[in-house]
Amino acid sequence: MSFAEVLLERKLLLIGSFVLTSGKVSPYYLDLRPLPNYPEFYDMVNQAIKKVKDIPHDIIVGIATGGVPLSSFMACNLREPMGYIRIEKKGHGTNRTLELDVKGKRVLLVDDVATTGVSIEKATLEILSGGGKVSDALVIIDRQEGASQRLEKLGVKLHSLFKISEILDELLKSDKLKDNEKKSILDYLVKNVEK
C-alpha cells in the first residue's frame, strides 16, 4: 500500500471542507498526529534519517506537537540530542517556548506538515533569538503553499519526505475518491499549490 493510500485508509488525510489556520478553505485536511500509532510511522522515521544524514546539525528540535514524535524517534535512532519548541507560550510554569539551550548550536527543525511555513518561521526566529542557528527544516508532508519560499528568506531550506501534489496526484488517478472530490481537489491544487 502506498503512503497516499495509508493516509486515506488511516484517516490521516480527510476529504471534505476544512478551514486551515491561514483561514483558507481546503478540500482536504492532513492530521498526522496519530501517525505514530501505526507501523508506517517507522518507515517515516527511517526515511527522515536518510534525508538528514548529510545535513550538518548539533541538535534536532521538534515543533510541538506534530513534530515532536518524529524528532524524538530520529534523535533516539541517531543517538543525538533532541528538544522541542512550542509556537505559543503555555501561560504557566516557566512560560518558555523553547525547551532546550540552543546557544551556539546548529538546529535541525522537524515538523509534521508545512503549509505556509509560519510555524517553522516562528520556531526559527525563537531559536535565533536564543543564540542558535537554523539552516534546515524537515517535514513529512509539504503542502506546497509557500513554506519553502517563506523559509528561504530566512536562509532555511525546507526538506520534505513527500509533497502534497505527489500524494494527491496518486489519489486522483485511483478509484479511492468520488468525482466531485477529485474536482474540488484539482481546483484547489491549480489555485493554491506551487509546483
Q: Which residues are annotated as a binding site?
A: 86, 90, 92, 111-119, 143
Point out the annotated binding site for 5-phospho-alpha-D-ribose 1-diphosphate: 86, 90, 92, 111-119
Strand locations in 7-114, DSSP E?
13-19, 25-30, 59-63, 82-85, 106-114
Buried b (16+ CB within 10 A) or exposed e, 135-160: bbbbbbbbbbbbbbebbeeeebebbb
Name the phi and psi angles at 54, rounded to 5: -105, 10
How far, rounded to the nearest angstrom, does the alpha carbon of residue 55 sit from its chain's CA centroid?
A: 17
- Cα–Cα distance between 112 and 147 in angstroms, integer? 13
- Binding-site positions for orotate read 115, 143
**Beta-bridge partners for 26:** 18
8 Å CB contact between 82 and 75 = yes
